[in-house]
Chains A and B, each alone.
Chain A
Amino acid sequence: MSLRIVVCVKYVPDATGDRHFAEDLTVDRDDVDGLLSELDEYAVEQALQIKEAADDAEITVLTVGPEDASDALRKALSMGADKGVHVEDDDLHGTDALGTSLVLAKAIEHTGYDLVVCGMASTDGTMGVLPALLAERLGVPQVTQLSEVSVEGGPNGTVKGRRDGDTASEQLEASLPAVISVTDQSGEARYPSFKGIMAAKKKPVEELDLEDLEIEADEVGLEGAWTKVDEAAERPARTAGTVVKDEGEGAKQLAEFLAGQKFI
């Protein structure tokens, strides 16, 4: 039997662009260029390596997001994933983490899975909670924040990995099915080859909406959200400080400044 891997990838506003909020205080995803969250490239990479090490495996990349989120799927497909699933629905606008986890969990069950692979956090929301939320909703083990991962024994096998925490480094192990997340320490993601980019154009992408997943509109979206942003203010730019050129006195000048601020 084939090992069914589902990789969750998010389409996010470019961090090097001018990210901001729309009038309804949701993240503006229309006016800012988007891309596959860089941290999810690591998830795609590890899924590809797990597939390469397995006898037989198939990788589905899954995204919940607006129309343009298909770009994120194409990128993941061009890296080597086999097929895509795109959940898109106007009623999803403004969905928060709990709502997104509901939609992802239903879509993962719809697709069928042995292993779900996530990034460590999205680069826009940076919450890092979706993998735990998914494990809770799917009722399967969570093996998260891995900087090293391997799968043995196919669809009924085990996943092993190393989690580097603040106070200790831990070796983890769980039986499949399971949800894992991988960090940016897990290994550089590959670049899509020209052949990969051409092949991706022909790979199937299934389009799903809320009705297909039997989710009511009021369970998600801005109205269904469990949290509400009341205010969003741009942080005042830091006022320009003093910059001196070191001509032998730089350290002394800096020490004067630090002493003036009572740091020494």
Chain B
Amino acid sequence: MAEVLVYVDHVDGAVRKPTLELLTLARRIGEPVAVHLGANADAAAKVLGEHGAVKVLAADAPEFTEYLVAPKVDALQAAYDAVSPAAVLLPSSAEGKEIAARLAVRIGSGIITDAVDLEAGDEGPVATQSVFAASFTTKSRITKGTPVITVKPNSAAPEDAPAAGTVEQLAVTVADSSKGTKIVSRTPRESTGRPELTEAAIVVSGGRGVNGAENFPVIEALADSLGAAVGASRAAVDAGWYPHTNQVGQTGKSVSPQLYIAAGISGAIQHRAGMQTSKTIVAINKDAEAPIFDLVDYGVVGDLFDVVPALTEEVKSRKG
């Protein structure tokens, strides 16, 4: 059976959920072979094996953290040369897309980014994409070379599929030309203890209607009662009320949770681009004419400062 390379996104060996989703999708096309760059490959291999990775190609080199992107391309290319896979899958993060792009040029292949689904087809994998702010759905293929495809988070459910997950060392030589961009310093993001925005089953977002950083705890309290992640519109981010990492939309994160709650958000096209594919959409807005109401499964026309705290109390009392 053809092998499919899966690029592993992890933090110190803790595999992030989108990679497990990639393994599910990879199994539709062939046998997943994971590529783990950096420390703690053994810890990662256990989880990767449980989700279908027959093999884990591992390499660690200081260059992966000292220079931007290019050394990882050298490593993925080494894995590609070792395996001759039927496809290469990566998570659709900023870095995942950049690695994919450069690998595609090097191996002479086409590239598809931001797939939301993947199936095997007669002429290679067929990728589903959601385009023009999620108003169109397309199906595409790569027609030259080995398909290189990046997939958005929440595109498939991770499945248990026990496989060997045998770790093999991958020999990597980082080219001098890949050491062009130095990472001079790195400040890790502090964890909020809440679920990752792109991975969460429920997202509660606040917009300009929240009217100040000091009011965002109202949104956070509802999120915490539901075990949800917190999002924000660009208007709220630009005003400095909430960090940019939490922005939902075209230039922020694109989310596709089971439930999306928008409070004090009008529903501009660029915001919709990042949340329109959510399964259930709920909005709270005091303007009955706000375009967000065109999208909702349930909407409340009202003041968020009345509705949101009361809803938080309802949720808490119902959950007991």
Contact = CB atoms under 8 A, between A and B. Distances in A.
Given A133-B102, A246-B307, A142 B298 contact: no
A254 B311 contact: yes
Overall SS of chain A's interface: mixed
A109 interface: no
Given A39-B251, A164-B244, A132 B300 contact: no
Nearest to A245: B301
Given A142-B70, A168-B187, A173 B135 contact: no
Given A183-B251, A246-B302, A251 B142 contact: no
B130 A235 contact: yes
Interface string B126-152: 100011111111111111110000000
B68 A251 contact: no
B200 to A, nearest CB: 13
A15 B113 contact: no
A139 to B, nearest CB: 6
22 contacts: A15-B250, A20-B136, A98-B104, A98-B105, A129-B98, A130-B101, A132-B102, A136-B101, A142-B70, A166-B245, A169-B189, A170-B185, A178-B180, A225-B110, A227-B111, A227-B141, A229-B139, A235-B136, A243-B298, A245-B300, A251-B307, A264-B318
Contact of A174 (B131, B180, B250): B180
Contacts of A15: 132-133, 250, 269-270
Nearest to B268: A16
Nearest to B140: A229
B315 A172 contact: no
B105 A101 contact: yes
A19 B136 CA distance: 9
B214 interface: no
A50 B293 CA distance: 43
Given A133-B105, A168-B186, A245 B314 contact: no
Contact of B250 (A98, A123, A163, A168): A123
B288 A243 contact: yes
Contact of B189 (A96, A141, A168): A168
Interface residues of A, number: 83
A255 B144 CA distance: 51
Contact of A241 (B104, B140, B273, B297): B297
B155 interface: no
A245 B115 CA distance: 38
Interface residues of B, number: 89
Contact of A226 (B111, B251, B307, B315): B111
Interface of A: 15-16, 19-21, 25, 39, 96-98, 101, 120-121, 123-124, 126-133, 135-137, 139-145, 147, 160, 163-175, 178, 183-185, 225-235, 238, 240-246, 250-255, 257-259, 261, 263-264
A16 B113 CA distance: 23
A128 B97 contact: yes
Contacts of B303: 246
Nearest to B253: A166
B110 A226 contact: yes
Contacts of B185: 170-171
